[in-house]
Amino acid sequence: MIRFDHVSKSYGRTQALNGLTLEFVDGEIIGLFGPNGAGKSTTIKMIVGLSRPDRGEVWVDGKLPRQRRESIAYLPELNHLYHWWTLKDAAAFIQDFYNDWDEHCYQSQLHFLNLDEGMKLSKISRGQLAKCRLLLTTSRRAPYLLLDEPFSGIDLMTREEIINSLIREYQEGKQTIIISTHEIDEIENLVDRAFFIDHGSIRISGKAEDLRAQKGMSLVEIMKEAFRHAEQQ
Amino acid sequence: MDFDSSQPIYRQIIDFYKRKLARGELSPGDRIPSQREYAERAQVNPNTVQRAYREMEMMQMVETIRGQGTFITATEKKQRDLQTEMAGQIMDRFIYDMRSLGFRDQELIGLIDLHLASEKGDVEK
């Protein structure tokens, strides 16, 4: 379980998180939604241990994030792979680094995503690079999978392939997936739970199916309404 | 299958199979997709599909046999119950809509008779 307890963080004059308090329950697919600059990336980075709170505390399974690094697979928003690598080079690097690498899962996804190990990362399209990055992240059997804006700048077909691959490899009950995105409609039907974040704190949260039943609205509509109200205040 | 994202998805999955059963498009012994297959095909959260399947099992619509798949178990009586249930829903909606157009109940019955008679006439021609 991941817990944020009154977490605040500023970068210079910009307040990224403002007393953020939340719990990510194990075994769920979680959507972290909000406009650009809402604090989604900072939240993810804190779970990975790449950013530390100014105030408040973050706990991963009751420990500090950097002590749980091996249990988290993280897909950063920006490309983190060397461009002179082939996909195979990148896979070998990650395999050496983490001992939860699942070669079988890697091979099956490689095929499913129509990727070729010999591909040079500098020579492939944006969509293919996105698929390579996803593949390398999800081939680890980590209990936590964090995806930061996995769809930005990616065409529709590739988005679908990515979502299909996520569903195929999801380990029900064992794995927690946290996806941050401002494009809610892409994963509307994929998430168990939704957090709408704005100005560094939670505006609305709940189980996706409960929110739909209560409001008779889709998650996209709920977020639009919440932010319309916020602007009027 | 397309979902209406403003309504709970698991309920739409159940309704989908209820409709198939009521229409006789599925019968006892028929195999339906595994939860994983369904989730992948419909691009829906596997936990949501699991919830729908679990409820269908509790309603004795389906049964999952380990290693073999999920099968329709609904008896004829269950199928008739589902037909009655769905007919009730359609009637409720119809009557509500007609009343909101200003028709009184007697006029409504008359209209149905008239409509059915004209349909019959079309067929005989």
Query: Within chain B, how many helices (H) and strands (E) appear?
Result: 5, 3
Nearest residue to B61 via CA among B8, B90, B34, B22: B22
* B101 in the same domain as B45: no
* B59 in the same domain as B44: yes
Q: Please judge whether A191 and B10 are an interchain contact, meaning their C-beta atoms are less than 8 angstroms apart.
A: no
* B70 in the same domain as B100: no
Q: Is residue B66 part of a domain?
A: yes
Give pTM, 2 decimals: 0.87
Q: What does the pLDDT read at residue A228?
A: 79
Q: Is residue B1 part of a domain?
A: no
Selected residue of A145, A171, A212 to mutate for chain B interface (largest B Cβ count, 10 A): A212
Contacts of A200 (CB under 8 A, 6+ apart): A8, A9, A15, A16, A17, A18, A19, A20, A38, A39, A42
Q: What is the pLDDT of residues B96-122, one digit of tens each?
A: 999 999 999 999 999 999 999 998 876
Q: Please judge whether A192 and B39 are an interchain contact, meaning their C-beta atoms are less than 8 angstroms apart.
A: no
Interface A-B, measured as beta-carbon pairs within 8 A, has a size of 58
Q: Is residue B125 part of a domain?
A: no
With both helix axes pointing from N to C terminus, report the angle between A126-138 and A156-169 in degrees, rounded to the nearest 10: 10
* B87 in the same domain as B70: no
Q: What does the pLDDT read at residue B125?
A: 54
* B103 in the same domain as B90: yes
* B70 in the same domain as B13: yes
Residue of chain B whose Cα is closest to the Cα of A168: B40
Q: What values do phi and psi take at B35, rounded to 5?
A: -55, -40
Q: Measured between CB atoms, does B9 come within 8 Å of chain A?
A: yes
Q: Is residue B54 part of a domain?
A: yes
Q: What is the pLDDT of residues B66-89, one digit of tens each?
A: 888 999 998 888 899 999 999 999
Chain B nearest C-alpha distance from A209 (Å): 5
* B13 in the same domain as B70: yes
* B52 in the same domain as B17: yes
* B56 in the same domain as B21: yes
Q: Is residue B45 part of a domain?
A: yes
- What residues of chain B lie within 8 A of the CB of A209, using their CB? 8-10, 48, 51
State how far the Cα of A162 lies from the Cα of A170, in Å rounded to an integer.
12
Written as tens digits, the pLDDT of chain A (233 aa) is 999 999 999 998 889 999 999 999 999 999 999 988 889 999 999 999 999 999 999 999 999 999 998 899 999 988 888 889 999 999 999 999 898 999 999 999 999 999 999 999 999 998 899 999 999 999 999 999 999 999 888 888 888 988 999 998 898 888 999 999 988 988 999 999 999 999 999 999 999 999 999 999 999 999 888 877 776 65
State how far the Cα of B120 lies from the Cα of B125, in Å rounded to an integer.
9
Q: Is residue B58 part of a domain?
A: yes
What's the structural domain count of chain B? 2
* B61 in the same domain as B26: yes
* DSSP code of residue A24: E
* B42 in the same domain as B28: yes
Place of tokens 């930061």: A148
Q: Is residue B93 part of a domain?
A: yes
- What is the CATH number for B15? 1.10.10.10
Residue B123 has pLDDT above 70, yes or no: no
Q: Is residue B20 part of a domain?
A: yes
* B64 in the same domain as B91: no
**Binding-face residues of B in 49-68 toward A, CB within 8 A:** 50-51
Task: Among A172, A209, A220, select the one facing B10 at the smallest CB separation.
Answer: A209
B45 in Cβ contact with B35 (< 8 Å): no
A17 in Cβ contact with A29 (< 8 Å): no
Q: What is the pLDDT of residues B7-52, one digit of tens each?
A: 999 999 999 999 999 999 999 999 999 999 999 999 999 999 999 9
Domain that holds residue B114: 77-120
